[in-house]
Structures are given as C-alpha cells and as structure tokens.
Amino acid sequence: MRKTIIAGNWKMNLSSAAAIELATAIRNGIPGSISPQTEVLLCAPALFLESLAASVAGNSKISIASQNAAAWKEGAYTGEISAFQLASSGIKTTLLGHSERRSLFGETDEVLKTKVDLALEAGIRPVFCCGEPKEVREAGTHEDLVGSQIQNALFHLNAENFSKLVIAYEPVWAIGTGLTASAQQAQDMHAFIRNLIADKYGKELADGISILYGGSMKASNASELLSMPDVDGGLIGGASLVADEFLKIVECA
Ligand code: PEP
C-alpha cells in the first residue's frame, strides 16, 4: 500500500529560531491517531536541516527534507550542496525540480535527470516535481508537457530505482496564487501520471508510487483533494508556515 505524504515546502522563509519553533510545534501536534501509512515531511532551507532534524527526532512520523541538491557529486561548485553531503548529514529526502527551480534557476529536464541519478546514488529519495504553466493548461496540452517532464528526467531509471521516487504534481498556475486545481483536475492528472508509469514499469510498480498534489493546498480544500483515489498527499507552500493550518491538513490525510 502506498504512503500518504504531507510535505511542507518552507522555501526561503523563516529565521533559524522561527524554523525550530515551527518544526517543534508541528512535531508535537501530529495526532497520535495518524495512519501508519502517513508521513510528514518538512522541506526546509539547507542551512537549518541538521538542527531541524534534531528538533523532530523521536517522532518517527516526521522528517526533515532538502529543497534541492546539486547536479554534481563534489568539487568546485561554490554555494552548492550535493546529495552526498545531504546524506552525510542524515537527510533522506529532497525535492527536485520544483517549478521555482525550473523557472528561476534554469533547471531543465536534462539537469534534473542528473540530479535524480545523483540523489539515488547517495541514497536520497527524490520528490520529483512536475507541472504545467497556465498557458499550457489553457492550450490543453498539459498532459503532453507533464508526460515529457517525467519521461525525460525519469524514464531512464530501472524499475528498482524508479520505485524509490515520489512524484509531486504542481500546476504552476496554482503555486502561491491562491488558485487550486479542482479535485477532479488533480485526479485526472494523477491518474494520467500513474498510467504513464504503469505503461513503462507495470501496474504493480505504478500503484506503489505516491503522487502528491501541490498548488495552494490549505486546510479548507485539503480533504477534498486528498479524497481523490490517485492523490496520495500534498506539497504545501504557504500553508505549511503556520503550524495549526498545516496540522489541519495532516489531519485530513
Ligand atoms: C509549493 O511551493 O510547492 C506550493 C505548492 O506552494 P503553495 O502551497 O503556496 O501554492
């Protein structure tokens, strides 16, 4: 049975002290009744990863993840942090290919292919983000684009490695805009992604992959989105910065 993952993406927000306060409040607020299949992730600024991991230690339902990893293993890449360095700090998961990384930092499918390979080699689980901008949705070619993002960056993997991935579908027009994909739009895209994976790797493997929805998910819309059969969790930006709001989403899982 695949996992439900509720992941907060804090982006470049919070001071060190505020980050520890928020992580501690979330850690302590996770309901004891949470399903064993549910996992909470906090994707935090790199600088705080180790101290945050210490703050949430002792609660196996929650862990700290990176928002990015370098496209190189090691060397003269000033300011970058490699997947191997993340692993050496005890980090087990990283976002890769968030739309802000694609649009602001020029990450292409080709770069992401390398990043995915390096993360897996380091023993880090990638949460691979994909999604279409507004004009692509309006043109009706969103499945073509998301399909190509997945095929180009991930379909070189063997089945064993592919089964370690988490996918996050995040329509760019819904990220940080207050606009949310309808539950049906999310379900349709998630089912499309799962079918694509099934065609390449088989139904059993596809059924085990968690596909998260991201894009203005909040307490008021989480339960409808999460009730969709192919929506296996959320990647949450703004609403993950307020403990009570984020915990309400966790309760919907
Ligand atoms: C995100 O950053 O991945 C995201 C979905 O942000 P928001 O929830 O604020 O739309």
Select from 133, 141, 161, 127 the least CA-distant residue to 43: 127
Residue 76 exposed, middle or buried by CB count within 10 Å (0-12, 13-18, 19+): exposed
CA of 219 to the centre of ligand 1 (A): 13
CA of 108 to the centre of ligand 1 (A): 20
Question: Which residue's entry shows tokens 């292409």?
Answer: 108
C-alpha 146: how far from chain center: 15
| Tokens coding 235 | 């990647």
CA of 120 to the centre of ligand 1 (A): 24
Write down all domains in the chain, each with its CATH number in brackets.
4-252 (3.20.20.70)
Is the pTM above the cut of 0.95? yes
| Tokens coding 178 | 């207050």
Please report the pLDDT score of residue 249 as a whole number: 98
Are 122 and 162 a contacting pair, CB within 8 Å? no
Q: Which residues contact 125 (CB under 8 A, 6 or more apart)?
A: 92, 93, 94, 119, 164, 165, 166
- The catalytic residue positions are 98, 170
Select from 216, 120, 112 the least CA-distant residue to 174: 216
Select from 107, 190, 126, 16 the least CA-distant residue to 182: 190
Work out which ligand 1 atom sits closest to the CA atom of 174: 10
Q: Which amino acid is at 253?
A: A
Please report the pLDDT score of residue 118 as a whole number: 98
CA of 123 to the centre of ligand 1 (A): 26
Please report the pLDDT score of residue 201 as a whole number: 98
Are 101 and 126 a contacting pair, CB within 8 Å? no
Work out which ligand 1 atom sits closest to the CA atom of 11: 2
Q: Could you tell which of 5, 236, 242 is best to mutate to test the pocket of ligand 1, judged by most ligand atoms within 8 Å of the CB?
A: 236
Q: Could you tell which of 103, 231, 235 is best to mutate to test the pocket of ligand 1, judged by most ligand atoms within 8 Å of the CB?
A: 235
Alpha helices (H) in the chain, listed in sequence order = 16-29, 49-56, 83-88, 99-105, 109-121, 134-139, 142-154, 159-162, 183-201, 203-207, 219-226, 243-252
Q: Rounded to an integer, what distance in angstroms lies between the CA atom of residue 238 and that of residue 246?
A: 9
Q: Which residues of the chain have pLDDT under 70?
A: none
Please report the pLDDT score of residue 178 as a whole number: 87
Select from 239, 3, 15 the least CA-distant residue to 127: 3
Please report the pLDDT score of residue 1 as a whole number: 81
Q: Supply the residue whose CA is at minimum distance from atom 3 of ligand 1.
A: 237
Please report the pLDDT score of residue 68 as a whole number: 98
Ligand 1 site residues, Cβ closer than 6 angstroms: 9, 170, 175-176, 214-217, 235-239
